[in-house]
Amino acid sequence: MSGASATRGTFGKASVRDADVEGRAVLLRADLNVPLDDGRITDDARIRAALPTIELLRDRGARTIVVSHLGRPDGVDPALSMAPVAARLGELLDADVAVASAVVGEDVASEVAELGAGEVLMLENSRFEAGETENDPELAQRLAALADVFVNDAFGAAHRAHATTEGVAHHLPAYAGLLLEREVRELTAVRDDPERPLCVALGGAKVSDKIGPLSAFVDRADRILIGGAMCFSFFRAQGKDTGDSLVEEEGVTMAARVLASAEDARAQIELPVDLVIAERFDADAEPRALDSVEVPDGWIGLDIGPRTAAAYAEAIGEAGTVFWNGPMGAFELPPFAAGTRAVAEAVAEAPGTTVVGGGDSAAALAEFGLVDSVDWLSTGGGASLELMEGRDLPGVEALRDREDT
Ligand code: ADP
Ligand code: MG
C-alpha cells in the first residue's frame, strides 16, 4: 500500500461539508444493508462506514433522519425491521437512535417534528414501500416532505435509481455524504488516472456482473489477472475441458470476444496455468492439485493453483495500481482458499496504490486480517464495478453540481 492521502481523484458534486444544516431536518440515505443472522448483525462495517457523515451532521446541529434498505423484503416484514441497525448505530454513536413507525406518512412526520438538533431518527426499511425500487415519484415527494435537505452517503446503492437514492434528490437541495465522495474519488482515480502499470485481478462467481467492467478494462488496464469461476468461461471459449466447473454461457460469449480482440487490446490477459479441483463444492471434498487447466469429467475447478497464485502475486507486486474484485476461488471452503489468500496478501504488501471492491473480496480480506493493509476498500460491489466500467451512477448524478452551492 502507498499510504496515499484522501485527496485522490476528482468529484464534481456538492459536499455535505458545504450544506447549511443547523436546526434543519436532513434526510440522510446511508447504506446500512448489513448481513443478519436470525435478527443479529454479523458484520457492522457498513454502519461504521456511515458514522463520519452522521457525526458531522450531529456536530452541526442537524436533525438527522437516516434511511436505508435492509435485505429484500416483499412489503412490510418485521424480520427486516431497521430496529437492530438503529440499536447498533446508537451504541456506536453513544446516543439514542429511535426507529420511526414506517418509512413515510403522517405518524413519521410527527416523529420528525419531535426531533431536536443533533438527534437521530431512523426510518423503517425503505423497501417496505413498493415505490422504493420503482423510483415512484409520489414516494420521492413524500420522503422529501419530511426534510429540508437531502444527503446521499449510500455509495453501495448509488448504481440503483430508487426513490431514496435518486428520486428524492430532485425535490430537495441534494449533497454528497463523506463516504460517497471518498468512494467516487478513489475509484475514479483508479479508472481515469492510475499510476501504471494498472493491474486488475478479477474473480468471483457472478461472471455476468463482471462482463461490462472486464470489457472496459481491456482498453484501460495493463494486465488483467483472471481467477474465480470466470476463468472457466475463458477456458470454454478456448475449447478446453472444464468438467463440472461453473460456466455461464453469457460469460463464454464475452470471453471469446475478449480473446479475439486480445492482439489490439491494451491489457495483457492472464489466465490460470494450474488449478485446485474437487468432486464436490464442499469443505470436506478432497482437493486435488491439477498442474494444467483441463478439468476432467466429474470434477470442479475451485481455486487457482500455486504456480498461478505465485505469478499473480508477482504481477500485483510490480503494479503501480492494483484493483481487485472477486475471490480467486471458493475461499469460504478452507481447502480452496490458498489462491485467494495469496492474492490478498500480495495486494496487502504491494507498493502500488491498492483498491479492493466486492462484498466477498472484502470478506476474504477481513478473514485474513488484511483490511487495514489496502489503500481503499470499497463498500460498493456493483456500484464500484459500474463506476469502473465508466457508467454514470444515478445516485451520484442526481446530486447538486459543486458550482451550484
Ligand atoms: P464479490 O462479492 O467479491 O464481487 P462474487 O460475489 O462475484 O465476488 O463471487 C464470490 C463467490 O465466488 C464466493 O462465494 C466464491 O465461493 C465463489 N467462487 C470463486 N471461485 C469459484 C469457483 N471456481 N467455482 C465456484 N465458485 C467460486
Ligand atoms: Mg458477492
Give the model confidence (pLDDT) of 43-89 as tens digits: 999 999 999 999 999 999 999 999 999 999 999 999 999 999 999 99
pTM comes to 0.94
Choose the residue to mutate in 360, 365, 377, 388 for probing ligand 1, maximizing ligand atoms within 8 Å of C-beta: 360
**Ligand 1 within 6 A of CB of 345:** no
Distance 381 CA to ligand 2 centre (A): 7
Mean pLDDT of 245-254: 93
Instruction: Report which DSSP code applies to 16.
Output: G
**Ligand 1 within 6 A of CB of 330:** yes
What contacts 175, CB < 8 A, 6 or more positions away?
13, 14, 15, 16, 18, 19, 149, 150, 151, 152, 399, 400
pLDDT of residue 262: 86
pLDDT of residue 405: 46
- What is the residue-averaged pLDDT of the chain? 95
Share of the chain above pLDDT 70, in %: 98
pLDDT of residue 6: 53
**Ligand 1 within 6 A of CB of 302:** yes
**Ligand 1 within 6 A of CB of 352:** no
Joined grid coordinates for residue 263: 492482439
Could you read off the pLDDT of 266-309 as tens digits, one per residue? 999 999 999 999 999 999 999 999 999 999 999 999 999 999 99
Could you read off the pLDDT of 191-240 as tens digits, one per residue? 999 999 999 999 999 888 898 999 999 999 999 999 999 999 999 999 99
Catalytic center residues: 46, 206, 359, 382
Which residues crowd ion ligand 2, with CB under 5 Å? 359-360
pLDDT of residue 371: 95
- Split at pLDDT 50, 70, 90, the class of 7 is low
What contacts 311, CB < 8 A, 6 or more positions away?
270, 273
pLDDT over 60 at 3, yes or no: no
What contacts 8, CB < 8 A, 6 or more positions away?
185, 186, 189, 353
Could you read off the pLDDT of 88-112 as tens digits, one per residue? 999 999 999 999 999 999 999 999 9
